[in-house]
Chains A and B, each alone.
Chain A
Amino acid sequence: MKSQSQKRWQIAANVILTISSLLAILPFILLIIASFTDEHVAMTDGFSYFPRKFSTAAFGYISQQWAMIGRAYLMTILVTAIGTSLSVIFTAMLAYMLSQKKLPGRKILNFFIVFTMLFNGGVVPTYVMYVKTFHLKNTIWGLVIPNLLMSGFMIMLVRNYFENSVPAELYEAARIDGAGEFYNFFHIALPLSVPILATSGLMTGLAYWNDWTNGLYYLDNKGKELYTIQNILNNINENIQFLASNATGGVNIGDLPTTTVRMAIAFVGILPVLIIYPFFQKYFAKGLAMGAVKG
């Protein structure tokens, strides 16, 4: 009887989780099918998992417009690469400093980091500062620098890792052999911390790949050539809203990509994440779990 109740629980769990998994995946499948749907069929029948007619016209349009979409793709890759590498290096070095238990001023410096997790100046002061003081508007740095580069939480996680998982004796031994602190950092601390650095890099990379808010604030019409894929997707949405509210506006409906093309651009934008994700699922999951439960 015990095993029977066990079995029933097993079945119930599997059924519910199968349904949940389908719910999670089905919208993405619709997106993919929508981007391969014939535009006319999409407009008359609506999007469907079983469209009456398939078409690759949307991807034909994308390859025609590759000058714009390809450049946006390159920008996404560039911003992600620059942002992630700077982030991992800065975070690791700062965390390494904070992991030195005897460092003079360690307590104050720790508080300096923790405070950023509790209080911030908010959107307006940050925006005004980056635009007025640092002139980041319509530069690539407007996409890289604001907000995304470092997070207090990540610094604390990497610091804890250095403290708990790299034996201090290794540094001492190296110091006796005459190694400097930079040698210790690059040749002992970093190689022994690959798991946390990989996780941190993966999470940061994803944040950069997905980011559209920095583009929203720091790029305007003059910065269009800096658009990432996410900015293009956002811009298309904004233009549609603009059209919906001002029928006589300056945006010509003929200039806007059709619905299936929009879906196709979104598909192209998420494709790398869809490809990479299954292989790194474990690290994503680990990174997320660490980020919220105090390490």
Chain B
Amino acid sequence: MAGKKNEKPEGGNKKSFGAAFLHWLPFYLMGAPGLIYIFINNYMPLAGLQIAFKNFNFAKGMWDSPWIGFKNFEFLFKSKDAFVMVRNTLAYNIAWIFIGMFVGVSAAILLNEVQNAVAKKFYQTAILLPYLMSMVVIAYLVYAYLSPSSGLFTKGIERLTGNTIQFYQEPRWWPFILTFVHEWRGIGFGMILYLSSLLGIDPGYYEAASLDGATKWQQIRLITIPLLKPTILMLLILNLGQVFRSDFGLFYQVPMMQAPLFPVTQTIDTYVYRALMQLNNVGMSAAASFIQSVVGFIFIVTANKIVSKLDENSALF
């Protein structure tokens, strides 16, 4: 809408097509490298979505491999893997959206309470640090605690109880370990997100509330949370749109790809990797990846429709 209005004055003093072309040419030239990159990296692979419906053969390439209809999907859904990876992806994501929201909002409110600027900076710097580390390094950190031969926790538990827990062989620990690692890494990020909207709240509200004798808890419940609602809602929707995508690094690196742990650590992304690179089953990998792309797209568009109905300013597009 705004774009159309802006075009009119341009039309008014329009010289000629040639002059306009020369005028805009430098801009298009500047944009070209980036546009070409995006075309290659984000649009050309779309043609490869057909691999999911083909009996793909690396030597023949994707255009010459024969069509096989929905066979790849049939094989995928006949395997136990399909259920496990979809369940894990959705369950972890949904649980973490709510845990992350609670932890992030709480951390931001707490940090906002701190008046000493040096302390505040220290807390923020420290808590954000894990977010800047690669998942490989985080896997090493976790290994330092849980390694069967020299882990701090493994050896400590051994000394206290005489039992050795083989963390990398026992699935039952991993929902908790993964949740902890995910939050440990993400809390600083969540804190910063909510903090930036907290800083936008007019301090006048709090002054008025404390003059009226409102307790801190009441202020948080009746002022902070309601005013954070648009941010919370927007991040909730954005995250729900991503519910079909899992953090590949976390699920691939941290459990060290141990097969006994797959029932609780296999997600769509780790399956796609494993089927493609290790099992050499491109068809099933492509089918899983196809479902992830398409369902993910439907999720994010639907989610965004809902947000734009509720609050137009919070919508992504």
Q: Using a CB–CB distance below 8 Å, which chain A residues touch chain B?
A: 2, 5-6, 9-10, 12-14, 16-18, 20-25, 27-28, 30-31, 34, 42-43, 45-49, 89-91, 93-94, 96-98, 100-104, 106-107, 109, 112-129, 132-134, 145-147, 149-150, 152, 155, 180-182, 185, 206, 209-213, 216-217, 230, 233-234, 237-238, 240-241, 244-245, 259, 262-263, 266, 269-270, 273, 277-278, 281, 284-285, 288-289, 292-294
Contact = CB atoms under 8 A, between A and B. Distances in A.
B31 A94 contact: yes
B123 A21 contact: yes
Contacts of B119: 14, 17
Given A121-B49, A128-B48, A97 B33 contact: no
Contact of B301 (A46, A118, A206, A217): A118
Contacts of A123: 269, 272-273, 276, 285, 289
Interface stretch (B78-86, B88-96, B133-141): B133-141
Contacts of A103: 24, 27
A234 B35 contact: no
A20 B110 CA distance: 11
Chain B, interface size category, equals 35 or more
Given A94-B34, A289-B196, A102 B42 contact: no
Given A121-B49, A129-B48, A284 B272 contact: no
A90 B133 contact: no
Contact of A270 (B110, B137, B258, B285): B137
A46 B210 contact: no
A270 B31 CA distance: 35
Q: Which of A147, A152, A294 has the most CB of B within 10 A?
A: A294
Given A125-B49, A241-B257, A278-B125, A17 B111 contact: yes
B170 to A, nearest CB: 15
Chain A interface main SS type: helix
Nearest to B190: A292
Nearest to B272: A123
A163 B314 CA distance: 20
Chain B interface main SS type: helix
A210 B133 contact: yes
Given A14-B114, A30-B152, A241-B256, A97 B197 contact: no
8 contacts: A13-B111, A24-B127, A43-B150, A96-B27, A96-B31, A149-B41, A210-B137, A240-B256
